[in-house]
Amino acid sequence: QFPVISIDGPTASGKGTVAHRVAKQLGFHYLDSGALYRLTALSAIRHGIDLWEEQQIADLARVLPCRFEKGHVFLAGDDVTDAVRQEAIGVAASKIAVLPLVRKALVELQVSFRQAPGLVADGRDMGTVIFPDAIQKVFLTASVEARANRRYKQLIEKGFPANMEDLVKDLAERDARDMARTEAPLKPAPGAFLLDTSHITANEAVHQILSLYAS
């Protein structure tokens, strides 16, 4: 089996940037599992399916027509790279992520990213559920303020509306939903390296993870 480095953590903890850079440095594949939940949510919305229709959404997720290419994400042939990053889609993703059948429907797709020479997997349950045999498990954390600041900058950069007060509220609600759900709740995997990124740069986090992996 090809090696997996799992990087889990709460929303806007810096996982995406860090995991992507670690993958690049090692020449590994990169799995943004959150994007799969976002794509599933977007697909449900486009099909006019309510976000609690578990079976219908799971049926969509199982055959999700998505493609990742050169930093772009496609859903049924449409470039949805920016559309999936909207906060409303993040919130919708976090709602469908509590549905056990939806999580189950996405397992196979996630596992298929494990290819030579290795994989960096970013998400909530990479080290606990999807790749329990990951060779290096990392759990990134950061204060709510640091995370809200990061998310604010990301959204503004993309030209999306953002409001600090709403973001802090969104983050707290999403944290609560991620941690309280019965299926794959957000928690550090046994043996995971805990890394608080509130006061370090993404590159410092990348460096720490790479040294850990090398040791």
- In the complex, the residues that contact ligand CDP under the rule CB under 6 A are 11-12, 33-35, 37-38, 90, 93-94, 97, 123-125, 174, 178
Dihedral sign, Cα of residue 148, residue 127, residue 64, residue 71: positive
CB nearer ligand CDP, residue 91 or residue 212: 91
CB of 55 to ligand CDP, least distance (A): 18
Nearest-10 crossing angle of helices 54-62, 33-46: 120
Convert 67-77 to b/e letters by CB count within 10 Å (16 or more is b).
Answer: ebeeeebebee
Nearest residue to ligand CDP on Cβ basis? 34
Tokens in use for 162?
């953002």
User: Shortest gap between Cβ of 215 and ligand CDP (angstroms)?
Assistant: 26
Nearer to ligand CDP, 3 or 90 (CB): 90
| Cross-strand pairs, 30 | 120
- Where are the strands (E) in 38-152, listed by range? 66-69, 72-75, 78-79, 119-123, 136-141
Of residues 88 and 135, the one with the C-beta less far from ligand CDP: 88
**Closer residue to ligand CDP (CB): 97 or 209:** 97
To ligand CDP, the closest distance from the beta carbon of 37 in angstroms equals 3
Closest CB to ligand CDP among residues 3, 9: 9
Residue whose CB is less far from ligand CDP, 92 or 206: 92
Distance CA 117, CA 46 (A): 36
